[in-house]
Amino acid sequence: MANMAQAIRMALHYGEQNLGVTEIFGEDVGPPLGGVFTATQGLERAWNAPLDERGIVGAALGLAWAGGRPVAEIQFVDYIFNAIDMLKLAANGHWASAGRYKTPLVIMTPTGSGIHGSMYHSHSFDSIATKLHGMKVVCPSTPIDAYGLMIAAIKSDDPVLFLKPKALLRSKGEELIPGEPDEKKLHEMIDAPLGDRSKWKAKWPKLTDYTVEIGKAKISHEGSDATIVTHGRMAPICLDVARRFTAQGKGKLEVLDLRSLIPYDWEAIKKSVKKTGRVVFVNEETEITNFAEHLIRRLIDECFYELEVRPRLLAGKATPGIGLSPNLEYFIQPQTKDVERVVSELLADPA
Amino acid sequence: MAAMPTAKTPSKPAPDLYKKLGAAKLLKIHELMVRARLLEERLIKMSKGGDGFFWIGGPGEEAFNVPLGLQVKKGHGVNFDFLHLHYRSAAIVMSMGAKPIDALRQMRSVATDPYSKGRNFVNHYAIPELNVVPVSPTIETQYATAIGTGIAQARAKTDSVTIVNGGDAGTAEGDFHSCLVWANRPALPLPILIIVVNNGWGISTAAKTQHGEEHIADWTKVFPGMPGKTINGNDVVESWAALEEAFAYVRKNRKPYLLEARCSRLYGHSSSSGANRIPEADCIELLEKNMVSRGLGKAADFKKAWDKEAADLDAAHRQVKAEPFPANESVWEDVFADGLPPSYPTKGGS
């Protein structure tokens, strides 16, 4: 089974072979490394850029205006802040130009915690990303969704920010990507060898177009007692809790994996909450002006009488950074036990 | 303004260059300079008269910007020149065929504003048929986006180039330096004509108080493979010759060239500084004087151009005043290229 980094790599290969992707670039994206998380190993069009985030996003924007479909990487989302201006230009270019300039570009960047990344390799960016109006924002939690969302992002005529949950880039999924060979063979075909790679070339499996529509959430676990709305790194944790709670008879939990933050699948959220009457939003952004607060406000506006109990938010604590010591990281960022606690409270709350 | 010394190669206006360009060409340049100047003055008047809001523009830069616009390889797509401009570029786009009435529309922010549908400040052009990419109020970001069209042109078999144009104060921003680094990248040098129009000011702050560089074009010393020059951008023929040389170099060698043009800023920075006439050298007066002294033009010819352009602007202004403002709901157009999702929040709250 492919891991998420391999899935992204295969989608990019499909993009450069079939969807007009001519440039895949960023810091250490090209050979010999192929990305610090290996997501760009073996790609024909991958190359190394100067260590300049503003230049990387600016280059992507210019390439898109010139008719290309570039995919650029910011090595860690923690380093995207100095490129905010450029992201804003990408996001507003279509609107500012009266719809005359489309900006079909993808910016991909590893996001979130979970690798003991300390203060500058653990950031989440969801809330700021969702304020870049005009930019689409996606964040997969499984390899197959990463594959399908990357293909959708490449096809999109809008700028797409592709958030890669860094803690999940080595995780494997439960569904095969169309055309994916067995795990050992895939490794031999597309993973660069250790040591000298100067003569190595990837051998790609025969891949097909598999698109996950941007703006469509996925019910990863059906339930009727309460809804967990989540995405990215927290999605498999929530899925695990839902499976165990259901198996143990503690409650039938529905897990809605958003996959897209902008546009978000409002109809899917409403439908699930109307069914269960109880909802918790789980993500690893900090709690102050958390993206999910907007969703909660909208639920209160539009589904007030369907809510049996107050909606909850489980989020990161509003500290200036993520501490390195495991004690600090696990305290700041939601963990499995926190999901269990908040879900238990949600289920126990009298209507 | 005195002629500026050059950074690398001394360049003096050739005494016969006016004659070399010829009366017909100079009269055409003069006409476009007048068109751009009167347009800017009309825009200022509209701003002050409540017929629009903020004004920012480039009166005083016509002697450089018109020759620039006339030397662009105009068209759409990677085989034509791309332009990453800033908000002082009216004379460039007018020289490329843009219509003054559309700038008036943007100033009045009416629905017919073709560049932004009434959403952006005046002189913020976006003209895909001319490869003029969206102008942004952000200072100097155009130097970063120029990298991208430069890469596209470096890959293509073409003689087209990317032109990026900005001001001297903005060269303190990192985007200017991004452009220099990326354009000179050994892995893929870029065909970018990097232009800085130096008027000596950043709003109210004198460049000499903030910049230790003697000339901005001295940045060429950091990149030995990149030629550059500082010129007197108030002089039409010096500008024409310098641009001809720079364009030829970039088109042929597929490498960058840094051109600094010293120009007047005739109405200050913008509305924010009053937009009143400043007693600096006027490049149109200079051109008329130089043409008359060489027998290449007459006062009557010049007056004809001034009168015609003014009359055209009067008519255009009357027309624009009768055009509607954008409908409120038009704000939801163009948010996304594939339309607004049905459940996108549009109420502005509860």
- pLDDT, tens digit (0-9, with 9 covering 90-100), for B198-244: 999 999 999 999 999 999 999 999 998 999 999 999 999 999 999 99
In angstroms, the CA A52 to CA B175 distance is 9
Does the pLDDT value for residue B52 go beyond 50?
yes
CB–CB contact B144 A57 (8 Å) = yes
Yes or no: say if B62 and B33 are a contact pair by the CB < 8 Å rule: yes
Each residue's pLDDT tens digit, B141-171 = 999 999 999 999 999 999 999 999 999 999 9
A23 interfaces chain B, CB cutoff of 8 Å: yes
Chain B residues with CB under 8 Å of A102 CB are: 337
Q: Which tens digit of pLDDT belongs to each residue from B285-304?
A: 999 999 999 999 999 999 99
Give the closest residue to A47 by CA, choosing from A71, A63, A83, A23.
A23
As a whole number of angstroms, the distance between CA B232 and CA B283 comes to 10
Q: What is the pTM of this model?
A: 0.96
- Predicted confidence (pLDDT) per residue in A56-70, tens digit: 999 999 999 999 999
The H or E element containing residue A300 is helix A291-303
Please report whether residue A196 resides in a domain.
no
Residues of A annotated as catalytic are 121
For A36-87, what is each residue's pLDDT tens digit?
999 999 999 999 999 999 999 999 999 999 999 999 999 999 999 999 999 9
Using the structure block, give the residue that is written with the tokens 């001034």. B306
Q: What distance in Å separates residue A344's CA from the closest CA in chain B?
A: 30
Question: Which of A190, A207, A232 is the last residue before a domain boundary?
Answer: A190
- Residue A340, in any domain of the structure: yes
Backbone region of residue B77 per phi and psi (left: phi > 0; alpha: psi in -120 to 50; beta: other values): left
Chain A residues within 8 A of B145 when measuring between CB atoms: 58-59, 61-62, 65, 86, 89
A244, A277 in Cβ contact below 8 A?
Answer: no
Lookup result for tokens 């440039």: A23
Q: Give the per-residue pLDDT at B139.
A: 86
Judge if A225 and A108 occupy the same domain. no
pLDDT in tens, B54-75: 999 999 999 999 999 999 999 9
Q: In this structure, are A136 and A250 located in the same domain? A: no
Which residues in chain A (36-95) have CB-CB distances under 8 A to chain B? 47-48, 50, 52, 54-55, 57-68, 70, 85-86, 89, 93-95
- Residue A213, chain B, CB below 8 Å: the answer is no
User: Which residues lie closer than 8 Å to B197 by C-beta, 6 or more apart?
Assistant: B58, B61, B64, B65, B88, B165, B166, B167, B168, B233, B260, B261, B263
> Listing from the earlier edge strand, what are the strands of the sheet with A312-316?
A218-221, A253-257, A226-230, A279-286, A312-316
- Looking at residue A52, its pLDDT comes to 98
Residue A22: list chain B partners with CB under 8 A: 155
User: Closest Cα of chain A to B21: distance in Å?
Assistant: 33
Distance from CA of A54 to the nearest CA of B (A): 7
Contact state of B126 with A61 under an 8 Å Cβ cutoff:
no
Mean pLDDT of the region B10-15: 56
pLDDT, position B169: 95
Look up residue A224 and give its DSSP letter: S
Q: What is the mean pLDDT of residues B319-326?
A: 98
**Is B231:B262 a contact under the CB 8 Å cutoff?**
yes
Per-residue three-class SS string for chain B = CCCCCCCCCCCCCCCCHHHHHCHHHHHHHHHHHHHHHHHHHHHHHHHHCCCCCCCCCCCCCHHHHHHHHHHCCCCCCCCCCEEECCCCCHHHHHHCCCCHHHHHHHHHCCCCCCCCCCCCCCCCCCEHHHCECCCCCCCCCHHHHHHHHHHHHHHCCCCCCEEEEEECHHHHCHHHHHHHHHHCCCCCCCCEEEEEEECCEECCEEHHHCCCCCCHHHHHHHCCCCCEEEEECCCHHHHHHHHHHHHHHHHHHCCCEEEEEECCCCCCCCHHHCCCCCCCCCHHHHHHHHHHHCCCCCHHHHHHHHHHHHHHHHHHHHHHHCCCCCCHHHHHCCCCCCCCCCCCCCCCCC
Considering only alpha carbons, which residue of chain A is nearest residue B326? A98
Structural domain contains residue A205: no
| Length reported for chain A | 351
**Same domain assignment for residues A53 and A173:** yes
Do residues A91 and A179 share a domain?
yes
Q: Are residues A11 and A160 in the same domain?
A: yes
Q: Which amino acid is at B186?
A: P
B6: pLDDT strictly greater than 90? no
Q: β-strands A136-138, A160-165: how paired?
A: parallel
Question: What is the DSSP annotation of A158-198?
Answer: S-EEEEEEGGGTT-B-SSPPTT---HHHHHHHHSPPSS--T
Q: B261 vs chain A: nearest CA distance in angstroms?
A: 24
How does strand B201-202 pair with strand B205-206? Answer: antiparallel
Size of interface A-B (CB pairs under 8 A): 157
d(CA B82, CA A132): 26
- Chain A residues near residue B80 by CB distance under 8 angstroms: none
Residue A126 to residue A282: CA distance in whole angstroms: 12
Contacts with B335 (C-beta within 8 Å, 6 or more apart), sequence order: A94, A95, A133, A134, B344
Judge whether A197 lies within some domain.
Answer: no
User: Nearest CA to CA, how far is A268 from chain B (Å)?
Assistant: 11
Contact A284, A238 (CB under 8 A): no
Taking the CA of residue A182 and the nearest CA in chain B, the distance in Å comes to 37
Percent of chain A with pLDDT over 90: 99
Percent with pLDDT over 90 in chain B: 94
d(CA A181, CA A179): 6
Name which of A58, A96, A136 is nearest B147 (Cβ-Cβ).
Answer: A58
Residue A274's domain is classified under what CATH number?
Answer: 3.40.50.920
In a domain, A13, yes or no: yes
What is the pLDDT averaged over residues A115-126? Answer: 92
A267 touches chain B (CB under 8 A): yes
Confidence of residue B11 (pLDDT cuts 50, 70, 90): low
**Per-residue three-class SS string for B227-267:** CEEEEECCCHHHHHHHHHHHHHHHHHHCCCEEEEEECCCCC
- What does the pLDDT look like over A139-156, one tens digit per residue? 999 999 999 999 999 999
Residue A198 neighbours by CB distance under 10 Å: 7
Do A231 and A344 belong together in one domain?
yes
- The whole-number average pLDDT for the span A307-331 is 97
| Mean per-residue pLDDT, A307-314 | 98
The H or E element that residue A96 is part of is: helix A84-96
For residue A55, is it within any domain? yes
Whether A70 sits inside 8 A of B155 (CB atoms) is: no
Q: Does the pLDDT of residue A339 top 80, yes or no?
A: yes
Cα separation, A45 vs A261, in Å, equals 28
B338 neighbourhood in chain A, CB within 8 Å: 156-158
Q: Of chain B residues 131-160, which have a CB less than 8 A from chain A?
A: 133-134, 136, 138, 141, 143-153, 155
Q: Do the domain assignments include residue A204?
A: no
Residue in A158, A134, A122, A163 with CA at minimum distance from that of residue A258:
A163
Whether residue A186 is found in the same domain as residue A275: no
Whether residue B145 and residue A89 make contact (CB cut-off 8 A), yes or no, is yes
B173 touches chain A (CB under 8 A): no
Question: Both A322 and A233 in a single domain?
Answer: yes
Q: What is the pLDDT of residue B16?
A: 78
Distance between CA atoms of residues A26 and A270, nearest Å: 39
- Do the Cβ atoms of B147 and A55 come within 8 Å? yes
The verdict on A136 touching B (C-beta cutoff 8 Å) is: yes
Q: Does A100 touch chain B (CB under 8 A)?
A: yes
Q: Bridge partners of B262?
A: B198, B232
The amino acid at A60? A
Whether chain B has a CB inside 8 Å of the CB on A263: the answer is yes
Kindly state whether residue A203 falls inside one of the protein's structural domains: no
Whether residue A185 is found in the same domain as residue A254: no
Cross-chain Cβ contact A65/B145 below 8 Å: yes
CB contact under 8 A, A96 and B138: no
Pick A66's closest partner by Cβ from B152, B187, B335.
Answer: B152
Confidence band (pLDDT; 50, 70, 90) for B5? very low
**Number of domains comprising chain A:** 2
Q: Which domains does chain B have, with CATH numbers?
A: 17-293+308-321 (3.40.50.970)
Residues of B in contact with A97 (CB under 8 A): 115-116, 126, 134, 334
> Are A153 and A22 contained in the same domain?
yes
Residue found under tokens 């910049």: B211
CATH of residue A99's domain is 3.40.50.970
Is the per-residue pLDDT at B9 higher than 80? no
- Find the domain containing A329 and state its range: 218-348
Q: Measured between alpha carbons, how far is residue A250 from residues A219, A241, A254, A346 in Å? A: 19, 10, 13, 12
A241 and A182 together in one domain: no
Same domain, A186 and A224: no
User: Which of B87, B125, B133, B333 to substitute to test the interface with A, most A CBs within 10 Å?
Assistant: B133
**Model pLDDT for residues A263-275, shown as the tens digit of each residue:** 999 999 999 999 9
